[in-house]
Amino acid sequence: MILRLFLAGGMLLSTGAGFVLARNEHVLCGNEIGTVEREIAALDQEIELWELRIAAVRDRQELSRRLRWIQSDLADIDVSKVIEIELSVPAEAPVASAY
């Protein structure tokens, strides 16, 4: 009778300990995922910031303003002489296929 109680208590104890260990592992894994997601969000914000900086530098009016501000000898940008190249992909470009 006492042996059965010890056996039942041991099984209950091992089941509870197994549950706690599995739950702790699950929580730790969730914390790691949250940390990685926050790092990704921070990197996305940094990319956005760099894109805005690049757009500001490429802006013709901003460039003209900076040239005037530093009293550069360079002439202002003449919009009629600006050449814009559009990148286009041909409609029938070769596509790699495994089939």
State the DSSP code for 45: H
**In the chain, where the domains are located:** 2-72
Interatomic CA distance for residues 27 and 92, integer angstroms? 50
Model pLDDT for residues 26-35, shown as the tens digit of each residue: 999 989 999 9
What confidence category does residue 98 fall into, taking pLDDT thresholds of 50, 70 and 90? Answer: low
Helix (H) or strand (E) holding 92: none
The residues, ordered by sequence, that sit 6+ positions from 79 with a Cβ below 8 Å of its Cβ are: 60
